[in-house]
Structure 1
Amino acid sequence: MANGLAFVILAFAIGVLLHSANAQVPAVFILGDSTADVGTNNYLPASTFKANFPHNGVDFPFGRATGRFSNGLNTADFLAKFYGFKRSPPPFLSLNGTSAIKRRSFRGINFSSAGSGLLDMTGQVTNVVPMSEQVYQFSTVYNDLVAFKGKSETEKFLAKSLFFISVGSNDIIGNYHSNQSIPKEQFIPNLGLVYEKYIRSLISYGARKFGIVSVAPVGCCPSQRLYTGTGDCLDDLNDHARTFFSTMDNLMRNLSCEIKDLKYSLGNAVEMTMNVITYPQLFNFTDVKSACCGNGTLNAQSFCTPTAKLCSKRHKYLFWDAFHPTQAAAKLAAFTLYGGGPQFVTPINFAQLAQA
């Protein structure tokens, strides 16, 4: 079993190197939360959820804290590289004026905002950009493109572009720990309906290729392990993530049957992450429970700040802070999404999606 898994990882890693040159898309548009944010919240003066300070970015070029909740790059960054882009699409809010937006929109823009969710109420306290606003921001880009290229050419361009979405974990964690928590059987289907609304909005603007990452087993994050008292995963919260994947799987199947030219890849982040947690040695990890940056039990009782305890072998850790993956884990996730098999990404992987 272990040797087989190692072979799978080696095979799709080589596949990425061999096929990245011809697996191109004209642009990548990214929506979601901190798993894909490359600095949006830096441009939100009122936001209290930021990562533009050390030790964040310690392994980024020049050790710069960019606003990513990571020691370096995140999954969205690596996917952009695999698709042949020299750099990851910039935050929408970093683009000053219509001309800058037009220039960047030909290669892609990142709308993701750390702390956000599918529901407007998620992240409201920290003043971040919810999915509803992210989709609206994209609509303004669409209008600018139409004004420049015309409606027909814009929709052809967008139909070939990739729409990468990674969102939902903040909604699920927030509801789970709420004093007015809604039962999983009711809450997750409702999240699916909201997700569907946003995907249909993007489809109405011409989007046809969706690379979607479902919610990871958030019950295994260091912050959630604290609730068990034993350091084990919070299994009930992971069940929410599994149910969310099933909901998204059904949603995307139904949409692809309804809209014949719609293509998608759905990453099963639960299976991807649990595979690493179960077989850490295969992926060169020695710690899959605690945070690299933080303080206290599992290094998860405080945020990653300039005064927090910082691990020295960051490439050996699965988790960067109490919630987020390290650069090494993010790269592995991107490899899996791009070249992985159907147990991790369905019905096709991200490399195949580019060519579809």
Structure 2
Amino acid sequence: MATPLTIQNPVLLTVCVVLFSVTTIATTRDPNIPIGPVFIFGDSTVDVGTNNYIKNCTAKVNHPYYGIDYPQSKATGRFSNGLNSADTIVALLGGYEQSPPPFLALLRDSSNFTGKLLDGVNFASGGAALVKGVGKDFLGDVISLEEQIQQFATVRGNITALLGESKGQLLLQGSMYIFSIGSNDIMNYIFSHPTTPEIFIANITAIYGIHLKNLYNLGARKFGLISVPSLGCCPIARLFSPGGTCAKEPNDLASAFFTPFESLLKNLSSTLEGFKYSLGNSYNMTMNIINNPSGFKDVAKACCGNNTIQGISDCKEGGFLCPHRDDHLFWDAFHPSEAASKLAAHALVFSEDPDFVTPINFGTLRST
């Protein structure tokens, strides 16, 4: 079991956040395989502006107060007051100051499109899920994981056309593929309950496996995956829980998902040649910091959007905004603050604690 953490060794993760110890480890790698770019897949926890380019999408945050702590206080489409987990992870992995741009942004700017792909791409879309169509009734059009992988297939085709099939494949094998998704599937299940929890978990695990195999067949080998955090502890979930405590059902589902997901990854690594992975246990990390809230003065309420009797107000200009964003674990009703995201990156990239990342950390995976 993980021990309580102190502010000297913090970490936080996706929708809900968390802290823990940080250590680096070095390893060797095949010099014949170049270290390729980073490709990012997922939902709002790692979206850096994809939804800005989708016409019929209501899951957009390209307005204040979002981005208030980003350079020039620019609302970029990140579901954050500044940078998000995608930005901080890739910066620590090396070669990046922040996340590579959205695929749809690169597609719109067609000049040197293929060349820019060699610097990496972010496909993540706020509201995306493992199951295609989830959330469409509420959010309109978002890019599901299935569609994100289809977009990557386009990227792969351009890279191999530029470099040749052999060199292009080697570059893709040396690249890093980061995933943060699954929360929207769980929240959709809670609202609909189409089957038993056991069947639901088995189904989304199997679907995740199909997506990973499809990406593997396109050349991916290094998978950095972030599991579903304790969704019941987010401000929006606490609002509907007695006494403002963490809601039980979303937490139970998030916790139950981790074990079969880890088993899936173990199976893929033993059956698919060259398949390597690092899995971040964001449920454990989240609960650790919530139970031992060193470094944050508030681990329950949103910084932007006020908790009222009527509910949580929207995070928008003119509404409630806390003056000290770094004191808050949560930026809005669902997402971590920039400070939390920066701590999360250290955990994923450097930690050697198996309660939080297994079997290796993101940094080790990147350098293999």
Specify which of 267, 273, 276 is matched with residue 263 of structure 1: 276
Render the CA deviation track for 1:75-129: whole Å, top value 9, x for unaligned: 0000111122133200000013665431222121000000110111213232111
Distance 2:52 2:244 in 1: 33
Q: Comparing both chains, which one has the higher relative contact order based on Cα–Cα distances under 8 Å and sequence gaps of 6 or more? A: 2
- 1:173 is aligned to 187
Aligned residue in 2 for 1:183? 196
Structure-1 residue corresponding to 2:30:
none
**30, 45, 48: which is aligned to 1:38?**
48
Within the alignment, does 1:71 sit opposite 2:81 as a pair? yes
* Conserved 8 A contact 1:292-1:317: yes
Tell me, what secondary structure is at the counterpart of 1:353? helix
Q: CA deviation at 1:193?
A: 0.9
**1:190-209 superposed Cα distances (whole Å, 9 cap, x missing partner):** 00111111100110011000
1:351 paired with 2:363, answer yes
Between structures 1 and 2, the one with greater helix share: 1
In the other structure, the counterpart of 1:230 is: 243
Tell me the C-alpha RMSD between the 2 structures. 2.2
- 1:114 is matched with 126
Taking the aligned partners of 1:118 and 1:2, their CA distance within structure 2 comes to 32
Calculate the TM-score normalised by the size of structure 1.
Answer: 0.92
Alignment size in residue pairs? 348
Q: Distance in 2 between matches of 1:128 and 1:214?
A: 21
Equivalence for 1:327: 338
Q: How does 1:74-89 map to 2 (within 5 A)?
A: 74-84=84-94, 85-89=96-100
Which whole-Å CA distance do the structure 1 matches of 2:187 and 2:152 have between them?
A: 26
Q: What is aligned with 1:305?
A: 316
Q: Alpha-carbon deviation of 1:164?
A: 0.2
Q: 1:229 to 1:4 in 2, by over 3 A?
A: closer
Match of 2:236, SS?
helix
- Structure 1 residue 295: Cα displacement: 2.4
Letter in 2 for 1:79: I
Change (3 A) 1:98 1:292: same
Which amino acid letter does the alignment assign opposite residue 90 of structure 1?
Answer: P
1:217 shift after superposition: 0.3
Matched residues in 1 for 2:367 and 2:120: separation? 18
TM-score, normalising length: structure 2: 0.89
CA deviation vs aligned residue, 1:261-295 (integer Å, no higher than 9, x gap): 111100000011111101112xx101010000002
Q: Which SS does the other structure have where 1:80 is aligned?
A: helix
Alpha-carbon distance in structure 1 between the residues aligned to 2:112 and 2:311: 40
| Residue 250 (structure 1) aligned to one of 235, 260, 263 | 263
1:228 shift after superposition: 1.1
Measured in 1, the distance between the counterparts of 2:310 and 2:356 equals: 29
For the 8 Å contact 2:88–2:98, the answer to whether it is kept is no
Could you tell me the percent identity over the aligned residues?
Answer: 43
- Contact preservation (8 Å) 2:5, 2:292: no
Contact 1:300–1:321 (CA under 8 A) maintained in structure 2: no
> Which whole-Å CA distance do the structure 1 matches of 2:310 and 2:360 have between them?
37
CA distance in 2, matches of 1:299, 1:199: 41
| CA-CA distance at 1:157 after TM superposition | 0.6
Residue equivalent to 2:347: 336
**Unmatched runs of 5 consecutive residues or more in structure 1:** none
> 1:275-320 CA deviation, whole Å, 9 max, x = no partner?
1101112xx1010100000023399622211122000111010110
Distance 1:300 1:111, change over 3 A: farther
Select which of 277, 300, 307 maps to 1:296.
Answer: 307
Match of 1:294, SS state, is coil
Which digits, 9 at most, give the CA deviation of each residue in 1:33-86, with x for residues without a partner? 000000000001111110000000010001110000100000000011112213
- Give the AA of the match of 1:337: L
Q: Is 1:157 equivalent to 2:171 in the alignment?
A: yes
- Confirm or deny: 8 A CA contact 1:285 1:317 kept in the other structure: yes
Distance 2:330 2:122 in 1: 23
Shift of 1:2: 7.0
Residue 241 of structure 1 contacts residue 270 of structure 1 at CA under 8 Å; is this kept in 2?
A: yes
Aligned to 2:226: 213
The corresponding residue for 1:141 is: 155
Contact 1:57 1:65 in 2 (8 A): yes
Alignment match, 1:314: 325
* Aligned 8 A contact 1:289 1:319 in 2: yes
Q: SS at the partner of 2:239?
A: helix
Q: SS of 1:177's equivalent?
A: helix
SS at match of 1:210: strand
> Counterpart of 1:322 in structure 2: which amino acid?
A
Is the 1:287–1:316 Cα contact (8 Å) retained in structure 2? yes
1-structure distance, mates of 2:322, 2:10: 26
Secondary structure class of the residue paired with 2:255: helix
